[in-house]
Amino acid sequence: MSALDSSASSGALPAQRQVQHETSPPTLETLISHLVAAKRSLSSINHVWRANEIVTAARLTLEDSVVVSARTGFLRGGLNNQLRLLYNVRAEVEEISLRGRSEFAGALKSLDAADARLRKTLGLLRETIVHASFRPEGEQPKSLHDFVDERGVEELHSTLKNSIDRTNTAQAELDSSNHAFDDELQSIKQALGTYRATTKLASSRGSVSSSGSQSGSSSSLSSLSSMPSMVHSLEMHAQEMANLLESLVRHFDLCVTAVKHTEGGGAAAQSITGDMPAEVMGSHPGPGPNIEEDINANLNAPLDPLSDSEYREMVNVIINDAAEAEDVVMEIQDRIGEMESVLETLTVQRDSFAAIYNATKEVFAHLSSLASTRLPGYIAQAHAFTAVWNDEHDRIKSGLADLSDLSSLYDGFLDAYDGLIIEVARRRHVRHRVEKILRDARNKLDVLYEEDVHARETFRVEQGDFLPSDIWPGLSREPMRVEFCRISGGLLKGVLDSDQGQGPQPDKGGQDQPEPSHTHGDTSSSSGEVIPDLPKSLVEQALARLKSKRQSVLGQQA
């Protein structure tokens, strides 16, 4: 068009224009109808006002979105760090629990094995009956177990049980704390799920709202980078709408001028323009010249004389522009519709940022509350378990060593009893050898004695009459006789009286017992030493047990 095209925004009507002169000037009614239509088109100023409001709102929306996005980014960075730290703490606490549980299970396994060995040894002591030859006559049968005191074993079991109970209690408290910690993590996971759902929903809403105005470019709307260009497009729309409104005002002014220069049109122009809408006569809503000043200046300005050619040219311009005025109004309406759609998209995007920020802030607040109130307790519980386990672990290790020592002691008692049987057999064998030597010596001495007596008697008979009796007093004496005296053995070298009876915790029945005058299956000698007479089978069994244990030890060493 002419005055209504984009060149009208320069502020003046085109000077060079090809005008098709009408054969006859239009009537006043025609010009008035154009003036009324031009006046009606000025109602588009409402859209221009709205465009100004939209631009202002869009700028505020952009500012809010930038602030909220910056806050969300800051919180998200802190959120990621806190989540990483939180899961690292949970992993450390779980590692403490697993390591303690593993060490505790290993200690219990070792304790069970050591206790089983001890109980097996004690069972063997109960099954091993001391041979009656070792005990006083008339005494009730006793087992090796009767010579040990199990109070030490019971006290050791009690100490170990207390350590195990304290460790179990500490482990249960840590497990309870870890379960509460896991509940906290589950709650945080739910909050994160809500956060992700909110983010996804917000992004999907932004995509839907922008599909019409952004050609389906949802990815650009999901970020802040698209918003400045959208605000800039709104500013361009507002500027262009102001220019289009200015062209409508110029068309209206031209219509007023034409009506006034038409005979009888002054009063009509005054009547038509006298009730201009207040919004049209108000302050200018946006960029460009002041519309109120333009309209008032034209309405109140005195009429300049026009030549017929100038009048006809002005009328032709009005007629040509009148055909395009409706298109200008439609363009303004289209642009304001587009601006409303873009503003809606911006608003939805801002609300999406706000929703994401609120969801992020909720998760962050949950994490902050956990870190400041309950997390120190979970960490302290792990430290408490570690302290308890370290103390009890030392006690359990000490108790394990004591169990092993007791097992070794009682095993040694069993081996010593077998050794005692073999030692008794050895001593009896030595006694038999001594007795045999004594018998042989006795026989030989008796033979020598008889030979000596016979020789002396023969000498006396043959030579006695020739020798004076007082030549040697011993001439008539019998030979000497040799007798063996059995002397009771004393204590072995290095053995004190206080060492007698020392063994693996003997009970009162095995202490301070007087040496028996005699035992079953043996006779007392003049020396007072009594060596029990043990069955051969008993000695063979003891020897077999000792040999089997030696082979087992050699096998383990190999």
Give the 3-state DSSP-derived string for 233-253, with helices as H, strands as E and coil as C.
Answer: HHHHHHHHHHHHHHHHHHHHH
- Crossing angle, helix 375-463 and helix 45-127, to 10 degrees? 10
d(CA 190, CA 197): 10
- Give which of 123, 105, 229, 226 is closest to 171, Cα–Cα: 105
* 171 in Cβ contact with 378 (< 8 Å): no
For the chain, report the end-to-end CA distance as a whole number of angstroms: 113
* 288 in Cβ contact with 243 (< 8 Å): yes
Please tell me the predicted confidence (pLDDT) of residue 6: 42
Q: Alpha-carbon torsion 271, 277, 283, 285, what sign?
A: negative
Angle at 230 between CA 355 and CA 211, to 5 degrees: 70
**Alpha carbon 457 to its chain's center:** 115
Catalogue the E-assigned strands of 234-339.
none
Please tell me the predicted confidence (pLDDT) of residue 220: 34
Domain residue spans of the chain: 6-63+216-368, 87-189+373-405, 410-462+475-488+498-557
Please tell me the predicted confidence (pLDDT) of residue 521: 46
- Give which of 106, 145, 108, 142 is closest to 125, Cα–Cα: 145
Structure-block tokens of residue 127: 């099954």
CB atoms within 10 A of CB 504: 17
Please tell me the predicted confidence (pLDDT) of residue 289: 45
3-state secondary structure at position 136: strand
The answer to pTM > 0.75 is no
Please tell me the predicted confidence (pLDDT) of residue 246: 87
Please tell me the predicted confidence (pLDDT) of residue 446: 93
d(CA 411, CA 255): 129
**Alpha carbon 90 to its chain's center:** 2
Please list the ranges in the chain whose pLDDT falls under 70: 1-25, 202-223, 261-304, 496-528, 558
- Give which of 6, 25, 7 is closest to 313, Cα–Cα: 25
Please tell me the predicted confidence (pLDDT) of residue 72: 86
DSSP string, 79-123: HHHHHHHHHHHHHHHHHHHHHHHHHHHHHHHHHHHHHHHHHHHHH
- Crossing angle, helix 226-260 and helix 28-41, to 10 degrees? 160
Q: Across-strand partners of 117?
A: none
Q: Alpha-carbon torsion 235, 239, 244, 248, what sign?
A: positive
Please tell me the predicted confidence (pLDDT) of residue 506: 39
d(CA 530, CA 512): 18
